[in-house]
Amino acid sequence: MTMPLMKTMKTGARKLKSKKIPMRRCVGCMESKPKSSLIRIACYEGEVSVDPAGKAKGRGVYLCPDRACMEKAKKKRALQRNFDADISDEKLEALFAEIEKYEKKDR
């Protein structure tokens, strides 16, 4: 019992000490939030995809996994502008539907 407990305490302390949380701006609400609470959308060679791990190649934008932010981003054509790409409403909806899966996961 003591061993695992000590382990968690150790890692917890290290987390507290180490660097600031990386912040990213959501293209929907334009608020800066911890990167881990946002979903990255990547655009590489004209192909736009949801990139939950944040490691895909290409340009990326960040969006809250929140329908309100998605709607804002859609209205502003934020993705199209950031990626300088033509993204159809259908494609956007498909991306948003994928992002919503993460919303439900209670990240």
28 lies in the site for Zn ion, by CB under 5 A: yes
Q: What's the CA gap between 55 and 66, in Å, rounded?
A: 21
92 lies in the site for Zn ion, by CB under 5 A: no
User: Which one, 29 or 85, has the nearer CB to Zn ion?
Assistant: 29
Stretch that binds Zn ion, among 12-20, 64-72, 76-84, 90-98 (CB under 5 A): 64-72
Tell me which DSSP letter residue 35 carries.
G
Name which of 53, 28, 58 is nearest 39 in CA terms.
53
Tell me which DSSP letter residue 31 carries.
-
69 lies in the site for Zn ion, by CB under 5 A: yes
Among 41, 43, 61, 64, binds Zn ion (CB under 5 A): 64
